Amino acid sequence: MASFRIACLVVLLVLVAGPVAVWGGTVALTHRGGRLLTGNLNIGILWYGAVTEKQKQAVHSFLNSLNPSGGDGEPQVSSWWHVVESYQAYTKTGGGKGSPTFTVKVVNEQYDPNYSLGKVLIKDFIKKLMPKATGGKPNTLALFVASKGVTVQDMCAGSCAQHGLIDEQPYVAVGDPEEECPECAWPFLEAPGISVKPPSGEVGADAMVMLLAGGLAGAVTNPYGDGFYADARGDDILEATSVCSHILSAQQARLPVDPATGGAYNAKGVSGTKFFLPAIWNPKTSSCWTPL
Ligand SMILES: *[C@@H]1O[C@H](CO)[C@@H](O)[C@H](O)[C@H]1NC(C)=O
């Protein structure tokens, strides 16, 4: 059983009239020689507890938006996913070009509305719930989405986006951080001096998508603990999105606002959906990147 503690690196963001402060460039992710996840990404979801309809919708729309939709204009969620896909080209043997695209597909979905293992999801419980999430299907990434009131192990202990490996089976676990760990709901909460409303209208739903995006990026680019990461304090490491935490926009001062919800967004998804996605380390430019 392995887990990767992911440190949060606070990058101070100065929102003044000029461009937003961008990553200072002192820490770089490097490839440690191991395999990344490649090929089609099949995902099995276990909804744990009282996950709201809005949260389920946001997660589904986000996952659907990772595949190129061709609609609705820029910036697209799929452009963000292209950066995740591009890591393959920058491995030690990658040669700098020709990253494959991964089709993302939800192949299994189950519900555990009554908290069958209680309200604290420790790794032992995640292991027990694994077959429910994957439905026993091979080559399926297990995704646990827990409702408000559930504590996901390690969520606030130095990390927000959770992913790990149990018996060689990669998983991503996200919760609703509003009450359990409001700092993991940045920038919707715990963002003094800036006001970013959630694009879906519900903090929990959009915070979950951010955690999921970070967890997926980590699971793809550092699935077995010897992929891309940077060393941080102690045993902590920084990965694709945690190395770029607390960046609203790498390119412009203000985010557009969706008139329908009043929420700010930096990426568009399928069917008119809007998302705020975490900044991600771009291995091509060795700097943090956001869709806007
Ligand atoms: C959850 O609990 C409710 C109320 O006790 C019950 O009606 C429902 O069947 C339970 N669902 C599952 C999947 O156990």
The pLDDT tens digits for 156-195 are 777 787 899 999 999 999 999 999 899 999 999 999 888 8
Query: Do residues 109 and 136 make contact, with C-beta atoms less than 8 angstroms apart?
Result: no
| Residue 47, pLDDT above cutoff 80 | yes
Distance of CA 152 from the midpoint of ligand 1 (Å): 22
Radius of gyration for the alpha carbons in the chain, expressed in angstroms and rounded = 17
Answer yes or no: is the C-beta of 116 below 6 A from any ligand 1 atom.
no
Closest atom, ligand 1, to C-alpha of 111: 13
Tokens coding 179:
């009450």
Distance of CA 63 from the midpoint of ligand 1 (Å): 28
Domain annotation covers residue 240: yes
Given this model, what pLDDT does residue 70 score?
A: 63
Domain annotation covers residue 35: yes
Nearest CA, atom 3, ligand 1? 114
Closest atom, ligand 1, to C-alpha of 116: 14
Going by pLDDT thresholds of 50, 70 and 90, the confidence category of residue 10 is: very low
Q: What is the dihedral of CA 92, 95, 98, 99, to 10 degrees?
A: 20
Domain annotation covers residue 284: yes
Given this model, what pLDDT does residue 26 score?
A: 59
Distance of CA 162 from the midpoint of ligand 1 (Å): 28
Nearest CA, atom 4, ligand 1? 114
Name the residue with tokens 């919760």: 175
**What is the domain range of residue 79?**
30-289
Q: Which of 48, 110, 112, 114 to mutate to test the pocket of ligand 1 (most atoms within 8 A of CB)?
A: 114
Given this model, what pLDDT does residue 16 score?
A: 27
Closest atom, ligand 1, to C-alpha of 112: 13
Nearest CA, atom 7, ligand 1? 114
Domain annotation covers residue 3: no
Answer yes or no: is the C-beta of 93 below 6 A from any ligand 1 atom.
no
Domain annotation covers residue 64: yes
Distance of CA 51 from the midpoint of ligand 1 (Å): 14
Given this model, what pLDDT does residue 7 score?
A: 40
Domain annotation covers residue 178: yes
Domain annotation covers residue 115: yes
| Residue 39, pLDDT above cutoff 80 | yes
pTM to 2 decimals?
0.90
Query: Do residues 166 and 123 make contact, with C-beta atoms less than 8 angstroms apart?
Result: yes
Given this model, what pLDDT does residue 71 score?
A: 65
Nearest CA, atom 1, ligand 1? 114
| Dihedral sign for Cα atoms in the order 149, 46, 245, 167 | positive
Q: What is the mean pLDDT of residues 12-41?
A: 64
Nearest CA, atom 2, ligand 1? 114
Distance of CA 60 from the midpoint of ligand 1 (Å): 24
Distance of CA 114 from the midpoint of ligand 1 (Å): 6
Closest atom, ligand 1, to C-alpha of 114: 1
Answer yes or no: is the C-beta of 114 below 6 A from any ligand 1 atom.
yes
Q: Find the range with the poorest average confidence among 149-163, 208-222, 239-253.
A: 149-163
Residues 6+ apart with CB under 8 A from 246: 9, 10, 11, 12, 13, 186, 187
Query: What's the structural domain count of the chain?
Result: 1
Q: What is the mean pLDDT of residues 41-51?
A: 97
Going by pLDDT thresholds of 50, 70 and 90, the confidence category of residue 5 is: very low
Answer yes or no: is the C-beta of 113 below 6 A from any ligand 1 atom.
yes
Query: Do residues 150 and 49 make contact, with C-beta atoms less than 8 angstroms apart?
Result: yes
Q: What is the mean pLDDT of residues 112-118?
A: 97
Distance of CA 112 from the midpoint of ligand 1 (Å): 9
Given this model, what pLDDT does residue 61 score?
A: 96
Domain annotation covers residue 9: no
Q: What percent of the chain has pLDDT over 90?
A: 73
